[in-house]
Amino acid sequence: MQPADLLKALKDNGCTRLLAKRLAPNDNSKNQIYLGGDYSAIQVLPFGSLVDDTSVVASSKRARLKANVSLSWVDEGGGIEEASHSNLILYPKYPEVRLSGLLQGLRTRHQSDVIASRDEGRWLFLGITQAGQILAYACKAASPCANWAESLSSQLPVVGVFCEFPLNGHDARSNIQQVLGDIAGKGWIRSKRLNGAGETRPCESENCGGYTLEAEMEIRPNGRADPDYEGWEVKQFHVTDLREPIGAQLTLFTPEPDGGVYCSEGVEEFIRQYGYPDVSGIADRINFGGAHRFGISHPRTSLTLTLAGWNTTTKKIDSVSGGIRLVDARENVAASWSFPDLINHWKRKHAKAVYVPSLKATDPLRYRYGSKVFFGIGTDFPLVLDSVTKGHVIYDPGIKMENSSKSPTIKRRSQFRILFKNLSGLYRQTGWWDLG
């Protein structure tokens, strides 16, 4: 297949990003496809929920997490064949990520020949759609697509083990800089949002700053936790001065606990055991809130944020059955978040993110966006856990129970947050763009 034919086939089937990896001899159907010695692949490849895989491999049990991948192969004629047994496997102790099952049940001979080989110079292309599907194509050394990839690879941005090829004829970083610069130049923008059909609608809620920015960037709601623009996660944050855009707290993710009293006995019992009367004097209301930091007992809840199964020296996960926990003075687990569940939430974060400052005005509600924006490249889940142990990532819930003595009404809000000044600890590369 010629490069132009491959690009056309990928775009015709809805791909918006194209990643490629030069395959090593050990990248084959027997040894699986190596995706890196870190967690970067989970930020760029869509996959299902990671679960603890308890199966025995080669007569030994290696701690690993496994998830289904919606992957199909592109054949030489541009046709599509589903590889329904494809899996992503994460070995947290190393760490290491691999793709497996790519050829099981496959009828297309060309792809089988390429992947089964140990030849140098082979290339694997992975096109990614907005719907979370992967379209794969593999080519032999010295083929037209391999030669094309070799000629461009040294000039392309690198994401983990992948080179990112432009699908639309332009560089994604330059494009997002241009778009954000144009938005900053517009001044005040009336609050709005896009619906799923791409139609503009008024917006009057508290989070309209993000919705307005997305509407200006023509980002439609896509079901992900954070909006995506050509592979960049876009986050807006409020400031008081666009010339010195220093933000306060940012919400990283909002996973509900999957263990502890919170789950085994229910949220109501959790609040009654560990909550406290509303400090502002609202009658018959019990709250559970406040910043819970690693290793420090909270003065109101008497719970301490801890990490189980995490090695603070090697900065690696020792046990996939561990996770973040809230424990009382007797080491009883009040609430916990398992590593598989946390990684499933963190995978929604992108490998590349841009944080855009904004000002807010009312009557009518409108926003203005700064031309000085913060970017981060290369986030990794162990960086999150390391930031937890440093006290930078905190658990800051807003859980409450009203009418607690009569007919209780419960509001759940579990969230992990970080101060803007500590955000750089979550990325391998950070900085500011001055868009003029």
pLDDT of residue 58: 43
Residue among 213, 179, 163 nearest 193 (CA): 213
pLDDT over 70 for what percent of the chain?
96
Mean pLDDT computed over every residue of the chain: 91
Q: Are 45 and 88 in contact (CB under 8 A)?
A: yes
122 compared with 94, residue with greater pLDDT: 122
Which residues contact residue 64 at a Cβ distance below 8 angstroms, ignoring those fewer than 6 apart? 52, 53, 89, 90, 91, 92, 320
139 compared with 58, residue with greater pLDDT: 139
Pairing state between β 162-165 and 15-22:
antiparallel
The CA distance from 131 to 72, in Å, is 13
Q: How many secondary structure helices (H) and strands (E) does the chain include?
A: 10, 33
The residue-averaged pLDDT of 31-47 equals 89
Measured CA angle at 234 (ends 232, 238), to 5 deg: 155
Q: Are 250 and 235 in contact (CB under 8 A)?
A: yes
pLDDT digits (tens, 9 = 90+) for 101-138: 988 888 777 788 898 889 999 999 999 998 889 999 99
Pick from 128-137, 197-206, 225-234, 301-310 the range whose average pLDDT is largest. 301-310
pLDDT over 90 for what percent of the chain?
70
Query: Is residue 348 very low, low, confident or very high in pLDDT (cuts 50, 70, 90)?
Result: confident
pLDDT digits (tens, 9 = 90+) for 14-33: 998 899 999 999 998 777 89
60 pLDDT exceeds 60?
A: no
The residue-averaged pLDDT of 228-237 equals 86
State the first-to-last Cα distance of the chain, in angstroms, to the nearest integer: 43
The residue-averaged pLDDT of 169-180 equals 84
- E strands within 103-154? 123-129, 134-139
173 pLDDT exceeds 80?
A: yes
pLDDT of residue 237: 92
Q: Where are the domains of the chain?
A: 3-165, 172-436
The residue-averaged pLDDT of 413-436 equals 94
pLDDT of residue 169: 64
Query: Is residue 378 very low, low, confident or very high in pLDDT (cuts 50, 70, 90)?
Result: confident
What architecture does CATH give domain 172-436?
A: 2-Layer Sandwich (3.30)
224 pLDDT exceeds 70?
A: no
pLDDT digits (tens, 9 = 90+) for 269-312: 999 999 999 999 999 999 999 999 999 999 999 999 999 999 99
Q: Are 210 and 236 in contact (CB under 8 A)?
A: yes
86 compared with 348, residue with greater pLDDT: 86
The CA distance from 208 to 202, in Å, is 9
SS (HEC) of 167-216: CCCCCHHHHHHHHHHHHHCCCCEECEEECCCCCEEECCCCCHHHHHHHHH
Query: Is residue 160 very low, low, confident or very high in pLDDT (cuts 50, 70, 90)?
Result: confident
CATH code at 3-165:
2.40.330
325 compared with 349, residue with greater pLDDT: 325
The residue-averaged pLDDT of 39-60 equals 78
